[in-house]
Amino acid sequence: MMDALIFVLAGAFATATPLLFAALGELVVEKSGVLNLSVEGMMALSAAIAFMVTLQSGSHLVGFIAGAASGALLSAVFAVLVLGFMANQVAAGLAVGILGLGLSSLLGRSFEGATLLGIDKIAIPLLSEIPVLGKILFTQDIVVYVGIAATGLVAWFLYRTKAGLTLRVIGENPNTAHALGMRPVGVRFLAILFGGVMAGFAGAYASTVLTPLWSQDMIAGRGWIAVALVVFGTWRPGRVAVGAYLFGAVSLLGLALQAMGIGIPAQFMTCLPYVLTIVVLVAISADKVRVRLNAPAALGESYRAAS
């Protein structure tokens, strides 16, 4: 029983890491006032490219870099459409997302069923020897630790730096920001690229570390979960992280309970993480003033500089 619980809680961090990376990236994009719905497609494409590169090079690091680069490239296509050609953000996001999914299946056909080695877990000296907690918190792979650090860094950037303040106000009102001498288009472009890089890491982690076996539909809706986490987490990095870890824990709980032979219908366990995550995050976001203060007011609106 205890072992199962440790398995669930320890595994939750790894399961949540792709969601966390993608959601943190999308959070920054949305805070700048752009809704990028191509997260699923960016994750899928970078998962395939990272898998392919890791398979060829034998290096996870190179695979992650390739994944991030392909995520950034696809997000740049989206950025050109919405910032350059003023395309509707929802339509452009869906189109670019479908492009990413299609490319992912196409590339992935050549290594369908291939496997990779995962990466080693790092046991932090001393801390990992704490009973129970040591195994849950301090025996994880490096990317999980980076994800936790990234949450803090994104929060620090948004709420403690001048650049973060600029990004937030551009998401509230790009016209006013422009009138005050800021560059909404440039800032949004950088934010979209950051979102692409983060989705790239997320895809790379999913295909080369979490389940290092290529199959089509590798991402399986996790990009959409990430988009939902941003909204339900009321655009606050900490809450988004809580949502991601909660989702990870509950999805593993189902597996653990099945393994223990507890007779709950599998369908119920499959939908439980979705239901529970929504319930918890809705409760978090019940305070409307908070939501109003954190939601980017100009989200989804095209911006054109006055001429």
Partner 1 sequence: MLISPGSAAGSGAQPESLLRLEGITKSYGSLIANDKIDIHIRPGEIHAVLGENGAGKSTLMKIIFGVTQPNAGTIYWKGRPTEISSPARARALGIGMVFQHFSLFETITVAENISFTVPGDIRDLSRRIRAASETFGLAVEPDALVYKLSVGERQRVELVRCLLQEPSLLILDEPTSVLTPQAVEKLFVTLRMLSDKGIAILYISHKLEEIRALCHSATILRHGQVTGHVDPREETSRSLAKMMIGRDIPRSTHAEAKPDAKIALRVSGLSTRERDPHAVNLKGVCLEVRRGEIFGIAGVSGNGQQALSRFLSGEETLPAARKGEIEILGDAVGHLGAAERRRQGLSFIPEERLGRGAAPGLSLNDNMLLTGHRLGMVARGFIRKRVRDEHAERCIREMDVRCGGSGSNASSLSGGNLQKFIVGREMMLRPKVMVVAQPTWGIDIGAATMVRQKLVDLRDAGVSILLISEELEELFEISDRMAVMFEGRMSPPVHTRTTTPERIGQMMVGVFDARDEIATEAAQ
Question: Which positions touch partner 1 (CB under 8 A)?
Answer: 162, 165-166, 168-169, 172-173, 176, 178-182, 288-289, 292-294, 297, 306-307
Q: Shortest CA distance to 31 belongs to which of 215, 155, 205?
A: 155
- Cβ closest to partner 1, residue 60 vs residue 236: 236
Q: In angstroms, give the least distance from the CB of 132 to partner 1.
A: 41
The CA-to-CA distance between both ends of the chain, in Å, stands at 67
- Cβ closest to partner 1, residue 110 vs residue 176: 176
- Cβ closest to partner 1, residue 170 vs residue 253: 170
Chain centre distance of CA 64: 14
Q: In angstroms, give the least distance from the CB of 278 to partner 1.
A: 21
Tokens of 75: 């997000």
The Cα–Cα gap between 137 and 123 comes to 9
Tell me which residue has tokens 């978090």.
284
| Percent of residues in the chain assigned helix, strand, coil, to nearest 5 | 75, 5, 25
Q: In angstroms, give the least distance from the CB of 34 to partner 1.
A: 17
- Cβ closest to partner 1, residue 121 vs residue 183: 183
Q: Shortest CA distance to 95 belongs to which of 42, 47, 39, 38?
A: 38
Dihedral angle computed from the Cα positions of residues 60, 62, 68 and 74, in that order, rounded to the nearest 10 degrees: -120
Q: In angstroms, give the least distance from the CB of 166 to partner 1.
A: 8
Q: In angstroms, give the least distance from the CB of 35 to partner 1.
A: 18
Q: In angstroms, give the least distance from the CB of 177 to partner 1.
A: 8
Residue 82, class by beta-carbon neighbours within 10 Å (0-12 exposed, 13-18 middle, 19+ buried)? buried
- Cβ closest to partner 1, residue 261 vs residue 288: 288
The beta-strand segments (E) located in the chain are: 121-123, 139-141
- Cβ closest to partner 1, residue 27 vs residue 81: 27
- Cβ closest to partner 1, residue 146 vs residue 291: 291
Q: Shortest CA distance to 13 belongs to which of 198, 116, 115, 142?
A: 142
Question: Contact at 8 Å (CB) between 192 and 53?
Answer: no
Chain centre distance of CA 113: 25
The Cα–Cα gap between 49 and 137 comes to 30
- Cβ closest to partner 1, residue 106 vs residue 179: 179
Q: In angstroms, give the least distance from the CB of 170 to partner 1.
A: 9
Q: In angstroms, give the least distance from the CB of 88 to partner 1.
A: 17
